[in-house]
Amino acid sequence: MSNYLENNIDVYGFLSNIYGMNVYDIDKPLQRFLQYFIGKVPSFSELGIFAGRDLLEITDYVDKVSRPRHIMWDINGNRVDRVWLNPVERWAIEKLVLDFGINKPPYHGGSWHEHYAMGFLVSDPGLYCIITITIQTAYALYKYGNDELRRYIPRLIGDERPINFGATWFTEVQGGSDLGANATIAKRDGDLWRLYGDKYFASGVGLADIALTSARPEGGRAGAKGLALFAVPRLNSKGDLNFIVRRLKEKSGTNSVPTGEVEFHGTEAYLIGDLSNGIYYIMEDLMVSRLANAIGAVGVARKAYLEAYEYANKRSAFGKLLIEHPLVIRDLMDMEVTIEGATALVFKAVNEFDKSWRDKPPYSEHYHYARLLTHIAKNVTADAAAYVTRLAMELHGGIGFLSEYPIERWHREALITPIWEGTSNIQALDMLEAMTKKNAHIAMLNDLENIVAEIKAYHNTAEAAMNVIRSTLQTATSLSPLEVEFRAKDILSLLGMQLP
Ligand SMILES: Cc1cc2nc3c(=O)[nH]c(=O)nc-3n(C[C@H](O)[C@H](O)[C@H](O)COP(=O)(O)OP(=O)(O)OC[C@H]3O[C@@H](n4cnc5c(N)ncnc54)[C@H](O)[C@@H]3O)c2cc1C
């Protein structure tokens, strides 16, 4: 714990009971998952201190006191469309990217597990969103970009200074889930393309040096398969603004990332990969952010749980500490088990992604399996985050509801996780698609059968969970299309509850 009383300007220690904890060193389950999946426990101790101290305070301060501001004009009357971050938030992001190298591991012989483990420690959905949309941009450019576009990568992953930010802008006003309804048009202009249209939810506006965006090449087919993926630099080839930031949105959470609306008026754009594969590249990119969403969700839950645990050790009711009341013990145990189970599932999904992330369309069986696990993990972790953060509020009693303290923010932050990167309904529909069109559940069953066969302790429990998974999949594959769609989210949640 922090020694905040020694330093009377370290006020945040009065507001948070976990301020000053090394959130990595105390997290034995996280260390065990890493040991299991990558055979080592990385040295994230410094990040654990940073996350349990500076980041806790900075993200709460940004949310409550100092949200990003749209700077539309410079002092000389030029349109600039930049976003002014609190300088301490900017410092924290630069530290994460440059000093902790959060976006480097997969590109430097490390693993996605390490990237996501660092994301778990950061967890604040707004700040981690900035990191995630940047690594998503690097990912698409690395896999499908030409040499010119790949020149952005060193700055996106923190190998070179100054760092660059990426972004992923797909959603339009008429639909985010229904990407096929995208109306932004791309017109060819010599070697490049020009975009006309707008994006209704655009995180990272005013920060992004280069953004990925979806558009329909003029005359192209309707629906999602008619979309291509483009890279849009902030400045065009003449050095002028390449797109307009219409405004920033007012949000109930994720306030450390600016989210706005963007207009394209003949915006210069560079095609990524093949014209006809855009939707596949977008889905791939969403896999990176859905895993981030999943690990961020359990990271948020963990912070709220730690606050609740500490509070229960300090607050008394009916003559004894909260922690001594059986019902409180039961609540805390339930939170802990929920977080650990969901975190294990995310790392399993990350593990399969790590083995298959270099796959390209039409993809291997392994990649489809990783995608199936990602849908399941995205859904179950979002539910876990909402549940655990709500319970953390409740365990703080009336204090938990006050916006003066950090607890209610964790709940607000948790509530984005079932919405962005595809709602839970969309995860359920995508799960069905992965099962019916790609047979991804067969790969999952085979893998799980092997794992269960190796489990010695608690073998019967594992076998019982396996039976539920078998019968759930059997039901899913035997229902009529309408019935299976009606029950898709139940199936998704059931699988998510049994898998860990
Ligand atoms: C803070 C924030 C930041 C964001 N940042 C970005 C960003 O940077 N880039 C970006 O591209 N997007 C971004 N988004 C958009 C986000 O991804 C979408 O809001 C989300 O995917 C849902 O799409 P929608 O809002 O259009 O909802 P809709 O698609 O209109 O959905 C409304 C409801 O209908 C349900 N629904 C829709 N279709 C079906 C169906 N077929 N079956 C069953 N239910 C269905 C949904 O589950 C949902 O509950 C952001 C959103 C927020 C809130």
Q: CA nearest 167: which of 139, 147, 143?
A: 139
Q: Give the pLDDT confidence of 313-344 residue by residue, as tens digits.
A: 999 999 999 999 999 999 999 999 999 999 99
Least confident of 1-10, 54-63, 206-215, 300-309: 1-10
Residue with tokens 């076998």: 463
DSSP H stretches of helix in 74-200: 87-94, 112-122, 125-144, 147-150, 153-156
The length of the chain in residues reads: 500
Amino acid identity of 450?
N
Query: 467 and 350, same structural domain?
Result: yes
Query: 345 and 291, same structural domain?
Result: yes
Q: Give the pLDDT confidence of 96-150 residue by residue, as tens digits.
A: 999 999 999 999 999 999 999 999 999 999 999 999 999 999 999 999 999 999 9
Query: 442 and 328, same structural domain?
Result: yes
Task: Answer whether residue 162 is part of any domain.
Answer: no
DSSP 214-244: EEEETTPPSSGGG-EEEEEESB-TTSSB-SE
Query: 176 and 93, same structural domain?
Result: no
181 in contact with ligand 1, CB cutoff 6 A:
no
Q: Which residue, judged by its Cα, is nearest atom 13 of ligand 1?
A: 201
pLDDT given at position 498? 86
Query: 271 and 299, same structural domain?
Result: no
Boundary of a domain, candidates 121, 156, 191: 156
pLDDT given at position 1? 45
Q: Give the pLDDT confidence of 2-44 residue by residue, as tens digits.
A: 454 556 678 999 999 999 999 999 999 999 999 999 999 999 9
pLDDT given at position 2? 47
Query: 190 and 145, same structural domain?
Result: no
Distance 304 CA to ligand 1 centre (A): 26
Boundary of a domain, candidates 275, 309, 342: 275
% pLDDT > 90, the chain: 93
Q: Which residue, judged by its Cα, is nearest atom 25 of ligand 1?
A: 176
Burial of 358 (0-12, 13-18, 19+ CB in 10 A): exposed
Pairing of strands 168-169, 210-217: parallel
Distance 489 CA to ligand 1 centre (A): 16
Distances in Å between the alpha carbon of 205 and those of 71, 81, 199, 243, 283? 11, 8, 11, 10, 21
Query: 374 and 341, same structural domain?
Result: yes
Looking at residues 369-378, what average pLDDT do you find? 98
Task: Answer whether residue 161 is part of any domain.
Answer: no
DSSP state of 250: P
What is the rounded CA–CA span in Å between residue 238 and residue 234?
11
- Report whether pLDDT(444) > 70: yes
The encoded tokens of residue 175 equal: 């639909």
The encoded tokens of residue 198 equal: 């707008």
Query: 225 and 93, same structural domain?
Result: no
Please answer whether residues 61 and 86 qualify as being in contact, where contact means their C-beta atoms are separated by less than 8 angstroms: yes
Residue range of the domain that includes 460: 279-498
% pLDDT > 70, the chain: 98
Query: 421 and 330, same structural domain?
Result: yes
Please answer whether residues 342 and 380 qualify as being in contact, where contact means their C-beta atoms are separated by less than 8 angstroms: yes
What is the rounded CA–CA span in Å between residue 420 and residue 424?
9
Boundary of a domain, candidates 251, 275, 299: 275
Query: 200 and 144, same structural domain?
Result: no
Nearest ligand 1 atom to alpha carbon 203: 8
pLDDT given at position 7? 60
Task: Answer whether residue 144 is part of any domain.
Answer: yes
165 in contact with ligand 1, CB cutoff 6 A:
no
Distance 452 CA to ligand 1 centre (A): 37
Omega into 125 within 30° of 0, i.e. cis? Answer: no
